Structure 1
Amino acid sequence: MKNKIFGLILVSALALSACKTATASEVSNASIRKMINNPDVTLVDVRTPEQFAGGSADNAINVPLAEIINNPTALKGKKVVVFCNKGIQADEAVTILKKNGVEVYDGTSWRNVKGIQDSSL
């Protein structure tokens, strides 16, 4: 009996989390695509200047994560999409910027943002 209850709870939890994740990612992907192509949005590459020099998305500016940590309100009043190599630094930047009142979207990686830009041409 305990195994059946445990199994039912586990299946229910997985089903609920799967539905929530799918819905959130669909909304997020649509929002990111729209934001990346919006001329009023600032694209912010949070990698180091050396990494940024190696390639980035079109029209992106470089504001390294360390600068965001030291001055989290510098982008206040702007809509921004942040990104990096794999999304780890971008996630951290999103958290910091949201806490400081910046309208921010997570573009994950610069290749993702660049791919969206290229597919919109």
Structure 2
Amino acid sequence: MKNKFLRLILVSIFALTACKTAATADISNASIKKIINNPDVTLVDVRTPEQFAGGSANNAINVPLADIINNPTSLKGKKVVVFCNKGIQADEAVKILKKNGVEVYDGTSWKNVKGIQDSSL
């Protein structure tokens, strides 16, 4: 019984902390690079303000996932790339924003977006 419970906990933890799957990626790496570096795109970090203060991509704004849930049309009319720590919150933000008519792309993690920015310099 203990082993089954332990396995369930480990699987749950893995599922919650795992990186994105291929099923959630809907554009190519080359395309996301062009989108991230487009000056007309708004980069949106969906982590908490405390996490955002610890570091983020260049020129990113902080709109926590909770704010997107409460006001899903706040970014309407903008082309946005959303990201977080590992992509889980970003995936949720993409679903919500797409459902509300926002042109949105998934940048996965802030380190991914920052790395793309830095490699383009």
The TM-score bracket by the shorter chain reads 0.7 to 0.9
Q: Which residue of 1 aligns with 2:108?
A: 108
Query: What is the TM-score when the length of structure 2 is the normalising length?
Result: 0.78
Q: Partner letter of residue 84 of structure 1?
A: C
Q: Partner letter of residue 28 of structure 1?
A: S
The answer to whether the Cα contact below 8 Å between 2:25 and 2:106 also exists between their aligned partners in 1 is: no
Which shifted more, 30-39 or 107-116?
30-39
Does residue 84 in structure 1 map to residue 84 in structure 2? Answer: yes
Moved over 2 A (4+): 24-28
Q: Partner letter of residue 99 of structure 1?
A: K
Query: What is the TM-score when the length of structure 1 is the normalising length?
Result: 0.78
Q: Which structure has the larger Rg over C-alpha atoms?
A: 1
Q: Partner letter of residue 37 of structure 1?
A: N
Using the alignment, how far apart are the partners of 1:67 and 1:103 within structure 2?
17
| Cα offsets for 1:18-52 (capped at 9, x unmatched) | xxx69x95943222111100000000000000000
Matched position secondary structure for 1:31: helix
Q: Which residue of 2 aligns with 1:10?
A: none
Does residue 69 in structure 1 map to residue 64 in structure 2? Answer: no
Aligned residues: 100
Using the alignment, how far apart are the partners of 1:65 and 1:86 within structure 2?
14
> Per-residue deviation at 1:99?
0.1
Q: Which residue of 1 aligns with 2:94?
A: 94
Cα RMSD (Å):
1.8
Using the alignment, how far apart are the partners of 1:31 and 1:60 within structure 2?
19
The answer to whether the Cα contact below 8 Å between 2:83 and 2:107 also exists between their aligned partners in 1 is: yes
